[in-house]
Amino acid sequence: MPPGETGASTPEPRFAQLKVLWSFVRPHWRKLLLGLVLALFGSALELANPMVVKLVLDTISEAGSLAMPIAVLLCLFGVGTVTGLWHWIVLGTVAEKVVLDARTSLVRRYFRAALIPLSRRPSGELVTRATSDTVLLREAASSSVISLINGGVLLVGTLVMMGVLDLVLLGVTASAVTVVTVLFLTLMPAIARTQEKAQNSLGLMGGVLDGSLRAIRTVKVSRAEERLGSQILTHARESARHGVRSVRREAVAWTVAFGGIQLAIIAILGVGAVRVSSGEIPVSTLVAFLLYAFTLMTPVMELSRSVTTLQSGIAAARRIREVEAIPLEPTAQDPDSAPAPVPDTVGASAGGHGTGEGSPLLELHGVTARYAPGAAAALDNVDLTVPRRGHTAIVGPSGAGKTTVLSLLLRFLEPEHGRITLDGTPYRELSPQQVRAHFCYVEQDTPVVPGTVRENLLFTRPGAGEEEVRRVLEEVLLTEKVDSLAEGLDTPLDATSFSGGQRQRIALARALLGSPDVLLLDEATSQVDAITEAAITRSVRRQAERAAVVTVAHRLSTIIHADRILLMEDGGIRARGTHEELLEQDALYRNLVAALHISETGSRGEEVPAGA
Ligand code: ADP
Ligand code: MG
């Protein structure tokens, strides 16, 4: 069978899939070529071996000197060993590089991807792609490509050498080889499919396991450990089931293959004995032929193993490329016009010398946005402006679109219609990074990043000095807490040593330290106590004197002190004004405030004490 046949006999789409795999291999094709040359050289040496053995036998029967043939054998052995070693190292290195490339590209992709489509995938699954699928790529993208070609060449070479020795015996062998090959070609795709299913189940397991471990407290209190555990293990069992099925098929395939070759060898012995006794071939030819027959298993094994790893590698490559297809964040448009006129710091923070001191900093004109094409609009034709200074509070029932407004400002989401401008420049002409450079943001959930307290505080502004760090800690009333820690600012911020409210305050301190043009707070004080809240309100007011602050507010104190309030309902702005104006004009606002009043003078959701 010619080397290309395995690929050529597979259907068209699989060829396209091979291209996906090839895209990972292409950068390393030189090294792979070297690997191929070494492999072919090794095969040639292997093919020469039985012929030298025949030479030894012929020399013995002619009573000549054995020195030369033995020397040749030793030589073949030496060169073969060195070639094999080199080949192994070259391919192993390429394999690791392919894996590293794939991981690099995935990790970079995850961080550059548009937020909404990325967050739609379970993070555990994304992790599985980068950790375990890339491993499957390893063999497929290096040794299996080589093995496929080399195995084919070795197989053809062996058959040719057999033909040179004796055509009749070749006939006997060829029929066995044909049966084995046909068997493999029919069984291998099924084996690959089951392996792919096993890997898919593993990805699903990663997704659920990750989500469950995050919510482990809720899981335990709900006494759902067993239930959830077996639900997750369903995926593991599914994976094992496919794995077992694949093993069974492989076992059958191999047994038949070994059996086939074994029978072929018996047949060769039988037919060969007849031909030797009738004097048609010398014994040395039969011995050499048998040696070839014994080594026939090597290329057959190599071929089938490489087909299997190639198939699972192709599947892994496809899964990797699939998550790589998550759309990227938009880039700044309009490269022909003058570069974006927005400086890194807008006028407000420079003391009001910026362009158009009187004009608003941020403007939304007729903005409609949805989270997926065809989904209900999360915002519908919204107009709003954020001045350079002062505190804008957004209030409204949950689901009204408050977080969506912040997501649009931060370009986590792009408007479907309408226009957003920063200091007069349309967002479209700016990159998301340029836009975000003007903001600090305290998000609604999980507002801390992995690392120590200090790393968290310095996250937005790595260059900030110790003094400033101390000042913002003081502003959020965390100095005492941090000083009480043995390692102080260098304490790792894991879940146990900080309560939810303290984590919120760390996130807020980080945002204050960033001294942004716009500070965005999304329910950032939902878990803090009344005293801390008062302190935070004071520092928000201070911040509002020098820059813009937009809060999604849920506390009466925050709302009352805001310079302007936007009341949102059902993806639109229902009313705007000061607290007094809205109290007078709007029934929904009055209800909202009344409800806040009751909840805040009654029992307040206070800070949960630290878990440890
Ligand atoms: P809130 O005022 O409570 O902050 P949001 O802005 O989060 O409201 O949500 C507005 C609407 O958009 C809601 O109907 C919500 O279901 C929907 N929505 C919010 N986030 C997403 C998301 N990531 N994917 C799909 N829909 C979302
Ligand atoms: Mg929200």
Whether residue 489 lies inside any domain: the answer is no
Which residue's CA is minimally distant from atom 25 of ligand 1? 371
374 lines ligand 1 (CB under 6 A): no
262 shares its domain with 381? no
Cβ(409) – ligand 1 distance below 6 Å: no
The predicted structure's pLDDT at residue 601: 59
Confidence of residue 60 (pLDDT cuts 50, 70, 90): confident
Of 289, 324, 359, the last residue of a domain is 324
Asked if residue 6 belongs to a domain, the reply is no
Mean pLDDT for 425-446 is: 88
**pLDDT tens digits, one per residue of 73-104:** 899 899 999 999 999 899 889 989 999 999 99
- Strand order of the sheet with strand 564-569? 439-442, 518-522, 548-552, 390-395, 564-569, 572-577
The answer to which of 110-124, 354-368, 584-598 has the lowest mean pLDDT is 354-368
Does the pLDDT of residue 348 top 70, yes or no? no
Question: Going by CA atoms, what residue is nearest to atom 14 of ligand 1?
Answer: 399
Are 384 and 285 within one domain?
no
Within-domain flag for 496:
no
Q: CATH no. for residue 260?
A: 1.20.1560.10
Is the pLDDT assigned to residue 549 strictly greater than 90? Answer: yes
Considering the domain architecture, whether residues 109 and 207 belong to the same structural domain is answered as yes
Please state, in angstroms and rounded to a whole number, the distance separating the CA atoms of residues 354 and 339.
17
For residue 340, pLDDT beyond 60: no
Q: Whose CA is nearest to atom 10 of ligand 1?
A: 401
Residues 61 and 97 in one domain: yes
Same domain, 265 and 291: yes
The angle that helices 283-295 and 29-61 make with each other, rounded to 10 degrees, is 150
Q: Does position 495 have pLDDT exceeding 70, yes or no?
A: no
Domain boundary among 285, 302, 324: 324
Distance between CA atoms of 434 and 264, rounded to whole angstroms? 72
552 Cα to the center of ligand 1, angstroms: 14
CATH number at residue 572: 3.40.50.300
402 in contact with ligand 1, CB cutoff 6 A: yes
DSSP string, 282-323: -HHHHHHHHHHHHHTHHHHHHHHHHHHHHHHHHHHHHHHHHH
Question: In this structure, are 288 and 376 located in the same domain?
Answer: no
Atom of ligand 1 at shortest distance to CA of 376?
A: 14
- Burial of residue 233 (CB within 10 Å: 0-12, 13-18, 19+) is middle
pLDDT at 602 over 60: no
User: Minimum-distance ligand to the CA of 407?
Assistant: 1
Q: Is residue 24 part of a domain?
A: yes
CA-proximal residue: ligand 1, atom 13 (nearest): 399
Which residue's entry shows tokens 């639900």? 231
Residue 443 token pair: 């998000």
Q: Indicate the residue among 280, 304, 324 that finishes a domain.
A: 324
pLDDT at 187 (0 to 100): 79
pLDDT at residue 13, as a whole number:
61
Residue 250 is predicted with a pLDDT of 83
Q: What CA–CA distance (Å, rounded) separates 354 from 360? A: 11
Q: What is the 3-state secondary structure (H, E, C) of 146-178?
A: HHHHHHHHHHHHHHHHHHHHCHHHHHHHHHHHH
Q: Is 405 in the pocket of ligand 1 (CB under 6 A)?
A: no
Which residues surround the ion ligand 2 when the cut-off is CB under 5 Å?
403
The arithmetic mean of pLDDT across residues 210-234, rounded, is 87
Could you identify the atom of ligand 1 that is nearest to the CA of residue 522? Answer: 4
Q: How many domains does the chain have?
A: 2
pLDDT at 450: 79
206 found inside a domain: yes
- Counting residues of the chain whose pLDDT is more than 90, the rounded percentage is 32
Other beta carbons within 10 Å of 50: 23
- Distance in Å, CA 376 to ligand 1 centroid: 10
Nearest residue (by CA) to ligand 1, atom 17, is 378
Residue 126 has pLDDT above 50, yes or no: yes
158: left (phi over 0), alpha (psi -120 to 50) or beta: alpha
- The finding on whether 398 has its CB within 6 A of some atom of ligand 1 is yes
Q: Are strands 390-395 and 548-552 parallel, antiparallel or unpaired?
A: parallel
User: Bigger pLDDT: 315 or 58?
Assistant: 58
Residue 553 C-alpha to ligand 2 middle, in angstroms?
Answer: 10
Q: Quote the pLDDT of residue 22.
A: 85
Distance 371 CA to ligand 1 centre (A): 8
Q: Which residue has the tokens 């602050």?
A: 549
Mean pLDDT of the region 230-239: 91
CB of 371 closer than 6 A to ligand 1?
A: yes
Give exposure, 83-112, as e/b (b: 16+ Cβ within 10 Å): bbeebeebbeebbebbbebbbebbeebbee
**Position 523 in a domain:** no
- Tell me what the mean pLDDT of segment 507-525 comes to: 88
Residues 91 and 125 grouped into a single domain: yes
Is the distance from CB of 354 to CB of 387 less than 8 angstroms? no
Mean pLDDT of the chain: 84
The ligand placed nearest to the CA atom of residue 526 is 2
Q: Are residues 138 and 233 in the same domain?
A: yes
Decide if 522 is inside a domain. Answer: no
Q: Are residues 340 and 362 in the same domain?
A: yes
| 3-class state of residue 358 by DSSP | coil
Residue at token pair 């006129």: 341
Residue 485 confidence (pLDDT) above 60? yes
The burial class, CB within 10 Å (0-12 / 13-18 / 19+), for 452 is middle
What average pLDDT does range 208-229 have in this prediction?
87
- The Å distance, Cα 357 to ligand 2 centre, comes to 31
Domain of residue 353 covers 335-438+548-612
Structure tokens at 109: 């992709």
Q: Per DSSP, what are the bridge partners of residue 438?
A: none
Overall average pLDDT of the 263-283 stretch: 91
One domain, residues 409 and 280: no
Q: Helix (H, G, I), strand (E, B), or coil: what is residue 514?
A: coil
Q: Minimal CA–CA distance to 469: which of 424, 514, 422?
A: 514
Residues 84 and 181 in one domain: yes
> In b/e form, how buried is each residue of 183-202, taking b as 16+ CB within 10 angstroms?
bbbebbeebbbbbbbbbbbb
> In terms of domains, do 313 and 389 share one?
no
Residue 500 is assigned to a structural domain of this protein = no
pTM for the complete prediction?
Answer: 0.74
Q: Please compute the mean of the pLDDT values over residues 457-485 and round it to a whole number.
A: 88
Is 1's pLDDT higher than 60?
A: no
